[in-house]
Amino acid sequence: MSMDNERNDNDIQSEETINYQMPIYLQLREIIRSKIEEGEYMPGTAIPSENKLAETFGINRLTVRNAVDALANEGILQRVQGKGVFVVGNKYEEALEEHGGFVGTMSNRGRHVSVKELTKALRPAGNKFANYFDIEPNDLIFYVKHFTSIEDDPISMEEIYVPKEILPELEVVNSSVFTLKDIFAFYGIELYSMRQTLEVINGMPKIRKMLNVPQEAALFMLSSGYFDKTGQPIGFSSSFVRSDKSSFSIKTH
């Protein structure tokens, strides 16, 4: 055994029990898996970077990458360009499209689509969302704002509202990587139905300016309500989408 291997062995064992009876990347794979299962790495959140893991365990980046790739191939982790590697939780097998729903298509023509989480904050529900979610006006809800662009071309802005009591984990989840449907599934919240409306609007000047909407173009406003099996609202979102860059279709089965 080389001196380098002896150094790695000592460094890794200071964090976890690892030996050389099997490849190191397989042992690191199981360490990461256990951290996911034990809740240290939560669904919807990023694991430490390859550099950080390599430094922590005293191994090279290629070994770390092999371990991460193995878990990504299993569907446990997901690489997101420019953002990192994220934990994927359990998902429902049934697609809500089977019940019918609007599906948006952006004219990206192979260009890079970027989604940024501009805002995530807790705020009082206020009268409007207190009535919608059947909670008190002073109860806290999450407000999340996303901005989507293709290269440097702004496409859409989305606002999401979820009561804190329903999904407290939203505070640590990167909601620009996973959809609200995914996040509900990760944390065992049964999403039973959705109700969507699609309108063509002129839009407020502030939103039009943010999205750089041409004077002659309208905006699509897609509103989505999320409901559990009892019919109780568990989430709401509004998306404002440039009509000159997108189209919507509806699937029914």
Q: How far is Cα of residue 190 from the mean position of the Cα atoms in its chain?
A: 17
d(CA 228, CA 248) in angstroms, rounded, equals 25
Domain of 101?
96-251
Residue where a domain terminates, one of 68, 87, 106: 87
**Count of residues in the chain:** 253
Same structural domain, 38 and 138: no
Residue where a domain terminates, one of 55, 87, 119: 87
Same structural domain, 113 and 69: no
Same structural domain, 208 and 237: yes
d(CA 211, CA 196) in angstroms, rounded, equals 22
CB 195 within 8 A of CB 104: no
Same structural domain, 209 and 102: yes
Among candidate residues 250, 240, 230, the one with its CA nearest the CA of residue 134: 230
Q: What end-to-end distance do the CA atoms of the chain give, in Å?
A: 62
Among candidate residues 173, 182, 118, the one with its CA nearest the CA of residue 149: 118
Same structural domain, 122 and 245: yes
pLDDT tens string 59-108: 889 999 999 999 999 889 999 888 899 999 766 544 444 445 666 655 55
pLDDT tens string 126-145: 999 999 999 999 999 999 99
pLDDT tens string 185-237: 999 998 999 999 999 999 889 999 999 999 889 999 999 999 999 999 999 99
Q: In this predicted structure, what is the pLDDT of residue 201?
A: 93
Same structural domain, 101 and 217: yes
Same structural domain, 114 and 222: yes
Q: Please check the confidence at residue 118 and state whether its pLDDT lies above 90.
A: yes
Same structural domain, 124 and 220: yes
d(CA 236, CA 133) in angstroms, rounded, equals 9
pTM for this model (two decimals): 0.78
The larger pLDDT score, comparing residue 19 to residue 170, is at 170
pLDDT tens string 146-195: 999 988 889 999 999 999 999 999 999 988 888 898 999 999 998 999 99
Same structural domain, 238 and 183: yes
**Burial class of 242 by CB neighbour count within 10 A (0 to 12, 13 to 18, 19+):** buried
Structure tokens belonging to residue 20: 């050389």
CATH number, domain of 51, equals: 1.10.10.10
Residue where a domain terminates, one of 58, 87, 116: 87
SS (H, E, C) 213-247: CCCCCCEEEEEEEEECCCCCEEEEEEEEEECCCEE
| Total of domains in the chain | 2
Q: How far is Cα of residue 117 from the mean position of the Cα atoms in its chain?
A: 10
